[in-house]
Amino acid sequence: AQTVTQSQPEMSVQEAETVTLSCTYDTSESDYYLFWYKQPPSRQMILVIRQEAYKQQNATENRFSVNFQKAAKSFSLKISDSQLGDAAMYFCAYRGGANSKLTFGKGITLSVRP
Amino acid sequence: GAVVSQHPSRVICKSGTSVKIECRSLDFQATTMFWYRQFPKQSLMLMATSNEGSKATYEQGVEKDKFLINHASLTLSTLTVTSAHPEDSSFYICSARLPGAASLEAFFGQGTRLTVV
């Protein structure tokens, strides 16, 4: 079974600084997809960024980028120029190529200090 | 992006009664929808996969007779919590994907906070 591990329950970052959220996963599949979701206090799940395992290039979406290390099964999220609105719970998620279910990590609560 | 609407956003019910939560894909047809349960400060736990026109697939440990799922159309799935008890109080979230194997992203409803008193 696939597992997703987010070992840090909480992190804090100063506004305008950069923060990295870590995530590791375990799978025996070669074709899969990885995601980072944001859940603000409204509890609406929002897709931040996604990465296809077959792509070597790290995904980037504006201030958000990932460091995808396939051999190490690591998928960290970097948030640059942190803003107050980035404060939320962040979930790393895995989806196998042949299985449409999403497997979520435990999540990390990110706070942004003004 | 695609929109998934969940209703109601909050519901309070008495112990022993049943409550129905609706999940609608507003601008696309969803052959598959997913139902999750989330406790405060915790992750989303998949309860079941809802397939249009067929029986839902429940995850291990989820009581199918307690959490009834119906996916009668391509745009609507419902979750009915039967004979609710205080321990069923939780945040329930649905999600759906665009049809097609190439679809990657899951779109989530706003969630429903259920309180059983």
* Interface contact flag, B34 A102, Cβ < 8 Å: yes
Percent of chain B exceeding pLDDT 90 equals 74
Those residues whose C-beta lies under 8 Å from the C-beta of residue B65, and which sit 6 or more positions away, are B82
Comparing A95-99, B41-45, B66-70, B79-83, the range with the smallest average pLDDT is: A95-99
Chain B residues close to A102, C-beta within 8 Å: 34, 46, 95, 106
Per the CB < 8 A criterion, the answer to whether A30 and A84 are in contact is no
The answer, for B9 touching chain A at a CB cutoff of 8 Å, is no
- pLDDT average, residue stretch B46-54: 90
Q: What is the mean pLDDT of each run of 10 residues along chain A (114 residues)?
A: 92 98 94 95 95 92 96 97 98 84 95 97
* Interface contact flag, B108 A45, Cβ < 8 Å: yes
Of A44, A50, A104, the CB nearest to B105: A50
Mapped onto helix, strand or coil, the DSSP state of residue B54 is coil
Those residues whose C-beta lies under 8 Å from the C-beta of residue A64, and which sit 6 or more positions away, are A36, A48, A49, A77, A78, A79, A80
Greater model confidence, B54 or A61: A61
Q: Is the pLDDT of residue B17 over 90?
A: yes
Of B41, B43, B46, the CB nearest to A105: B43
Q: Is the pLDDT of residue B49 over 80?
A: yes
Per the CB < 8 A criterion, the answer to whether A76 and A21 are in contact is yes
Read out DSSP for B78-113? EEEE-S--GGG-EEEEEEEE-SSTT---EEE---EE
pLDDT value at residue A50: 94
pLDDT value at residue A91: 98
- Chain A, 18 to 47: residues with Cβ < 8 Å from chain B are 33, 35, 42-45, 47
Mapped onto helix, strand or coil, the DSSP state of residue B24 is strand
In order of A19, B5, B25, B49, B77, the CA distances from B54 in angstroms are: 45, 22, 18, 11, 12
pLDDT for B20-36, tens place per residue? 999 999 988 888 899 99
> How far A15 CA lies from chain B's nearest CA (Å)?
23
One-letter identity of residue B29? Q
